[in-house]
């Protein structure tokens, strides 16, 4: 796991500044504290920070092929690299190291950009092809590893994190005002955009080619749900999944350093723990975070139960409101992408704990997206059946239910009532019913006229509708899983997973998001995943005899953090100092009186923690990246 960066100037007679490359890599030092390296040749420069995981002695980067005509900087892990290496050696390739990185170089020599099709793992890398004078940049299929780029027509910059691109003073910093509005609609920022105009995320399953003529992007992978499902029984699916996950976790345990597991006490992380123990035959270390004396579910008792079952060396930590608040500026600095993800703060602290014991962590991230674990899946399926039964009466009945929800103060009735009379794209974004979202309902009152006029008209449902076009031939559950895999997963959950662990120089691996596992899950019939009142059926059945019953049958809790209670109680004064300051008002986005009303409404009802946290993210992001609160 590492941090990569680079610059390619299209003019052949230009030169990349060595000092710039050092500044870019220095800003990524937390991603790779074990070493750095640079390749600078005329108009191209590549930079690398290394976190040593495999081939500790000879795996330094940038790394080249036999005749130094192909150079690479790589971030991630390739789990099938040994198999690929054997094949390449038989074809006559000569290796200098034992690393997975060098496998990609030789694979590129044989297959060019299509080499990505043979890689199984998580990755973001850049290859400089000296003969073709071509830069090739690729990102893994699901988006586990981040990759940003900026093209101004004269040069291309790329990096694992935006802050490295911003190290170049010639890169303009123009705030993408429309992206701020989109973030407040989704509570994360889906798609290519960032909060800087023109700076983009390379989308998952895509690669980029930059030449003197410019930049082109290509999609090499997408998740598909077959119309004709394989003919297998539920029991056969369970057996196949057990074998697949066993092999996948075994591959994810490959490392020349200690590997541990983030254990929440839920089904996914407990299943990964059981397989990790089986794969090594040794006692492994597990880690959990909790919160004392709060209104949320404490994960630690369930995690300890699983740890005892599998005989792990278990550690846990508790964080307080002050811990949460103290880290917020650094949260925004490390995340860069605007994300309303308070559990990320807890992930930071538990990975900080883990850093004293291991260099690699396995996580159960992705099980809900692959195997349909969220309660909104059965809820939306039930809603669809009601909609079909009501026919033309669905919209008026939904309207009555929504109004009753407002009158009774029942947010759930309001949300699902509103959704009843609408198509899927209208109500399925931001993991809530879109039309009821606060910043959509209150836009004309909450935002300033200037902000409304400079941010283009926003229709989140249209973006979801575009994603649903290729999924239109699939059933409702498959459509929802596809949308979540393309939006919520890479642009919220995986941003959090990568940035918070790498802030502590820890590599996080996510076996349930191996693309072979994702494709197997997509091939299964919907009722193998969601039954009447049940989710993740096939995954739970796979581990039914291994996991404690209390873990297997517990209600899904997510990664509960009592941030809402903290923000409206002990942290209230500090929240007001930031959001009601003249500095925040000077941004010109929000009406100060409406921000104050929101804060007061949350004090009474406790319903607006997510909105308040999102506003904090916007302001702290400006302080860090626009006002220069952190040196870049």
* pLDDT tens column, 50-66: 887 766 666 689 999 99
- Residues 398-455 pLDDT 10s: 788 877 776 766 777 777 777 787 777 667 664 554 555 788 888 889 999 999 888 7
Closest CA to 233 of 533, 573, 497, 525: 525
Q: What per-residue string of b and e applies to 568-590 under the rule 16 or more CB within 10 Å gives b?
A: beebeeebeeebeeeebeebebb
Task: Classify residue 631 by burial, with Cβ atoms within 10 Å: 0-12, 13-18, 19+.
Answer: exposed
Instruction: Report the catalytic residues.
Output: 2
Peptide bond into 251 cis (omega under 30): no
Listed in order, the ranges of the chain carrying CATH 3.40.50.620 are 234-372+484-553
CB 127 within 8 Å of CB 72: yes
CB 362 within 8 Å of CB 383: no
Q: What was the pLDDT predicted at 558?
A: 61
Q: For the domain 234-372+484-553, what is the CATH superfamily, name and number?
A: HUPs (3.40.50.620)
Listed in order, the ranges of the chain carrying CATH 3.60.20.10 are 2-177+194-219
Other beta carbons within 10 Å of 359: 20
Q: Which pTM was predicted?
A: 0.94
Helix 411-420 and helix 376-390, axial crossing angle in degrees, nearest 10:
50
Q: What was the pLDDT predicted at 300?
A: 87
- Residues 613-631 pLDDT 10s: 999 999 999 999 999 766 5
Does the domain formed by 2-177+194-219 have CATH 3.40.50.300?
no
């Amino acid at each position: 796991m590492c941090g990569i960066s680079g610059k390619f100037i299209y003019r052949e007679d230009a030169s990349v500044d060595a000092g710039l490359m050092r500044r870019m890599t220095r800003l990524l030092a937390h991603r790779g504290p074990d070493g750095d390296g640079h390749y600078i040749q005329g108009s191209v420069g590549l930079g690398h920070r290394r976190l040593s995981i495999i081939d500790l002695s000879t795996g330094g980067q940038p790394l080249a092929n036999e005749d130094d005509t192909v150079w690479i900087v790589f971030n991630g892990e390739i789990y099938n690299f040994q198999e690929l290496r054997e094949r390449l050696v038989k074809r006559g390739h000569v290796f200098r190291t034992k690393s997975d990185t060098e496998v990609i170089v030789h694979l590129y020599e044989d297959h060019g950009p299509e080499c990505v099709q043979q890689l199984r793992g998580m990755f973001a890398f850049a290859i400089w092809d000296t003969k073709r004078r071509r830069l090739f940049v690729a990102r893994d299929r699901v988006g586990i590893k981040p990759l940003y780029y900026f093209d101004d027509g004269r040069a291309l910059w790329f990096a694992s994190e935006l802050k490295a691109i911003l190290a170049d003073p010639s890169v303009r910093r123009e705030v993408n005002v429309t992206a701020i509005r989109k973030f407040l609609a989704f509570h994360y920022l889906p798609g290519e955009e960032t909060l800087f105009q023109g700076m983009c995320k390379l989308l998952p399953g895509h690669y980029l080619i930059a030449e003197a003529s410019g930049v082109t992007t290509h999609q090499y992978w997408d998740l598909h749900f077959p119309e004709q499902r394989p003919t297998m029984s539920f029991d056969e699916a369970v057996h196949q999944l057990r074998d697949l996950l066993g092999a996948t976790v075994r591959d994810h345990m490959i490392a020349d350093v200690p590997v541990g597991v983030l254990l929440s006490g839920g089904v996914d992380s407990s299943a990964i723990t059981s397989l990790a123990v089986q794969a090594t035959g040794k006692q492994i270390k597990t880690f959990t975070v909790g919160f004392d004396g709060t209104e949320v579910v404490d994960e630690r008792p369930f995690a300890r139960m699983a740890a005892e079952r599998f005989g792990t060396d278990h550690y846990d930590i508790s964080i307080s409101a002050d811990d949460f608040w103290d880290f917020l500026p650094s949260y925004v600095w490390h995340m860069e992408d605007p994300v309303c993800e308070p559990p990320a703060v807890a992930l930071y602290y538990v990975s900080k704990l883990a850093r004293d014991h291991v260099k690699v962590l396995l996580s159960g991230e992705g099980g809900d997206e692959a195997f349909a674990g969220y309660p909104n899946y059965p809820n939306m399926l039930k809603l669809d059946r009601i909609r079909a039964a009501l026919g033309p009466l669905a919209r008026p009945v939904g309207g009555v239910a929504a109004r009753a929800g407002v009158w009774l103060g029942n947010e759930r009735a309001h949300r699902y009532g509103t959704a009843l009379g609408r198509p899927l794209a209208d109500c399925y974004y931001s993991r809530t019913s879109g039309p009821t979202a606060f910043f959509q309902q209150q836009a004309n009152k909450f935002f300033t006229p200037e902000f409304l006029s400079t941010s283009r008209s926003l229709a989140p449902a249209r973006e979801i509708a575009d994603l649903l076009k290729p999924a239109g031939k699939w059933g409702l559950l498959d459509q929802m899983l596809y949308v979540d895999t393309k939006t919520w997963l890479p642009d919220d959950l995986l941003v959090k997973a990568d940035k918070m662990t790498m802030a502590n120089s820890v590599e996080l691996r996510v076996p349930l998001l191996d693309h072979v596992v994702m494709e197997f899950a997509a091939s299964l019939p919907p009722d193998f995943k969601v039954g009447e009142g049940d989710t993740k059926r096939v995954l739970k059945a796979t581990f039914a005899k291994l996991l404690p019953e209390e873990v297997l049958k517990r209600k899904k809790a997510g990664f509960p953090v009592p941030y809402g209670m903290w923000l409206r109680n002990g942290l209230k004064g500090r929240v007001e100092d930031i959001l009601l300051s003249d500095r925040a008002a000077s941004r010109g986005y929000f009406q100060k009186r409406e921000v104050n009303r929101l804060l007061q409404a949350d004090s009474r009802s406790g319903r607006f923690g997510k909105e308040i946290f999102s506003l904090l993210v916007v302001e702290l992001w400006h302080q860090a990246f626009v006002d220069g609160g952190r040196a870049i």
